[in-house]
């Protein structure tokens, strides 16, 4: 209800554009508005009308995924076991980044192009911040881990998976292995014995 509902034909074009962009992102092709227009069988102007910049389009592609992460973040906030809640949250985040190529660049970007993106990212990071705070209070994580580290670390894991390469089917396993190690390292160091 934030935006005026689009006319039916315009909505169809909007969908087409986003679908084409989705495909391009999935096949690793950089988003170029002219290119998108050609593939969607639309005029360039149409694409520019809907998305002023490639970044705006990319963020739009990433939005559903961000929304689902936010939803998951809210669920995690309901978990009373602080350490577990944080780990689930982070795991889900990394899984998403590894699965959906649109996510990593949007997440790592220092500035957003759509207000909606900013909203979602803030919602996400504030959930992370709360979860981290609780986990720290519970003595479940290292004291030197701050909320400003969450995004970088998740991006780092996702990037590591990408550098590792390999079939996209295997990526998720690699991601789990890397994340498992990292999370283990982030837990409070118990004195041996």
Positions that interact with its own copies (CB under 8 A) = 108, 110, 142, 144-145, 148-149, 151-153, 155-157, 159-161, 163-165, 174, 177-178, 180-186, 189-190, 192-193
Q: Is 33 in the site for DNA (CB under 7 A)?
A: yes
Of residues 59 and 87, the one with the C-beta less far from DNA:
59
Q: Is 77 in the site for DNA (CB under 7 A)?
A: no
Inter-residue contact 131 to 150 (CB < 8 Å):
no
Q: Considering CB distances under 5 to 8 angstroms, the limit depending on partner class, which of DNA, its own copies, none binds residue 183?
A: its own copies
Q: How many residues line the site for DNA (CB under 7 A)?
A: 25
Cα of first residue to Cα of last residue in the chain, in angstroms, is 59
Q: Is residue 14 within a helix (H) or strand (E), and if so which, with residue range?
A: helix 8-26
What's the full length of the chain, in residues? 193
Of residues 35 and 75, the one with the C-beta less far from DNA:
35
Q: Is 109 in the site for DNA (CB under 7 A)?
A: no
Of the listed pieces 2-10, 102-110, 115-123, 157-165, which binds DNA according to CB under 7 A?
A: 2-10
Inter-residue contact 187 to 106 (CB < 8 Å):
no
| C-alpha span between 190 and 168 (Å, rounded) | 36
Q: Considering CB distances under 5 to 8 angstroms, the limit depending on partner class, which of its own copies, DNA, none binds residue 108?
A: its own copies
| C-alpha span between 193 and 186 (Å, rounded) | 19
| Nearest in space to 47 (alpha carbons), one of 61, 35, 62 | 35
């Amino acid at each position: 209800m934030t935006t005026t509902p689009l006319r039916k034909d315009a909505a169809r074009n909007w969908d087409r554009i986003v679908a084409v962009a989705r495909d391009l992102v999935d096949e690793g092709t950089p988003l170029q508005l002219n290119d998108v227009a050609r593939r969607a069988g639309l005029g360039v102007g149409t694409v520019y009308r809907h998305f002023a910049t490639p970044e705006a389009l990319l963020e739009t592609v990433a939005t559903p995924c961000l929304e689902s992460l936010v939803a998951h973040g809210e669920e995690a906030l309901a978990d009373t076991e602080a350490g577990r809640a944080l780990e689930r949250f982070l795991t889900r985040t990394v899984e998403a980044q590894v699965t959906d190529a649109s996510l990593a660049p949007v997440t790592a970007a220092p500035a957003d192009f759509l207000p909606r993106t900013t909203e979602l990212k803030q919602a996400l990071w504030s959930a992370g911040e709360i979860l981290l705070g609780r986990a720290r209070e519970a003595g479940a994580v290292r004291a030197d881990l701050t909320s400003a580290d969450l995004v970088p670390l998740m991006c780092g894991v996702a990037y590591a998976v990408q550098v590792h390469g390999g079939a996209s089917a295997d990526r998720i396993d690699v991601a789990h292995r890397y994340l498992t190690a990292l999370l283990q390292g982030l837990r409070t160091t118990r004195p041996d014995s």
